[in-house]
């Protein structure tokens, strides 16, 4: 899959592509990331990409013309690569714009994108992007959450990381992402490692005995219950969604009833 990123700050992406476990996805080209510096498509000596908003108001708005040229170059590049590879031309890659007004990124969307052909990631800055560009080109608007960032680069990096780690061979254990939070609609429970007894000022802290039992069924059930309990405390909306989707077993429901979760 290919992601084309239009940004004022391509240097923010470069360290992410060569460090950490997800670099395997980029090195293998399972996730092919192309960076497009917006200023390369601006006119004039100063390569200006923003101006004051019509109608007044604070901040600056990214200009339409450099963005139009950048998007045209991205599409031409994608079509040329598809032609040189001898592959059939696919439908136009979706253009994603990152904004606080967009749909919140969740694991369901990440899973969908991880199995798809990629996208064009449009990273805004300042007060926003000329609406005419958004109306003409943007297919999806996404947000990290109900807060405001300085630009779209951090959400774009988060999306790339989430997609990259789902590619085959990227994680050390192929089952790792299957046990992540939200993979089954619930939050992931706690994890423990060595030492068996952790020395602290409050005395030794042991790990839960069930994890030393060697009984895989009991361990699996304990982990499920920890996940259910954590989700009930922190995200009861996910419990309600799991019930509506009939993802909870009778044993799950008995456990939640004992916690007085209805």
| Residue positions annotated with a catalytic role | 100, 127, 165, 180
- Can you say how many angstroms the Cα of residue 163 is from the centroid of all Cα atoms in its chain? 6
Q: 185, 174, 161: which is closest to 242 by C-alpha? A: 185
DSSP assignment of 191-215, as one string?
Answer: ---S-SEE--TT--EEPPGGGGS--
**HSE-up of residue 198 (Cα within 13 Å, Cβ side):** 9
Q: 10, 40, 37, 16: which is closest to 165 by C-alpha? A: 16
Pairing of strands 197-198, 140-143: unpaired
Measured at the CA of 127, the angle between CA 121 and CA 133, to 5 degrees, comes to 50
Q: Is 32 helix (H, G, I), strand (E, B) or coil?
A: strand
φ/ψ (deg, to 5) at 96 = -110, 130
State the DSSP code for 113: H
């Amino acid at each position: 899959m290919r992601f084309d990123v239009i940004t004022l700050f391509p240097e923010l992406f470069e360290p992410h592509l060569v460090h950490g476990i997800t670099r395997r996805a980029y090195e293998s080209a399972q996730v092919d990331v192309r960076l497009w510096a917006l200023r390369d498509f601006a006119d004039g000596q100063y390569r200006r990409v923003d101006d004051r908003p019509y109608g007044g108001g604070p901040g600056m708005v990214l200009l339409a013309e450099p963005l139009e040229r950048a998007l045209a170059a991205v599409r031409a590049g994608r079509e040329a690569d598809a032609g040189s590879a001898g592959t059939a031309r696919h439908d136009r890659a979706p253009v994603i714009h990152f904004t606080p007004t967009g749909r919140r990124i969740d694991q369901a969307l990440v899973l969908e994108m991880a199995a798809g052909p990629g996208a064009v990631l449009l990273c805004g800055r300042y007060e926003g992007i000329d609406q005419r560009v958004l109306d003409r080109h943007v297919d999806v608007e996404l947000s990290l959450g109900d807060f405001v960032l300085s630009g779209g680069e951090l959400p774009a990096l988060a999306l790339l990381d989430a997609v990259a780690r789902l590619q085959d061979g990227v994680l050390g254990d192929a089952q790792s992402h299957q046990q992540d939070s939200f993979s089954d609609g619930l939050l992931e429970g706690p994890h423990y490692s060595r030492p068996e007894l952790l020395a602290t000022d409050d005395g030794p802290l042991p790990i839960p005995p069930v994890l030393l039992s060697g009984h895989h069924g009991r361990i699996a059930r304990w982990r499920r219950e920890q996940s259910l309990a954590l989700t009930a405390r922190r995200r009861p909306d996910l419990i309600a969604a799991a019930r509506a989707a009939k993802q909870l077993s009778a044993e799950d429901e008995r456990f939640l009833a004992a916690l007085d979760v209805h």
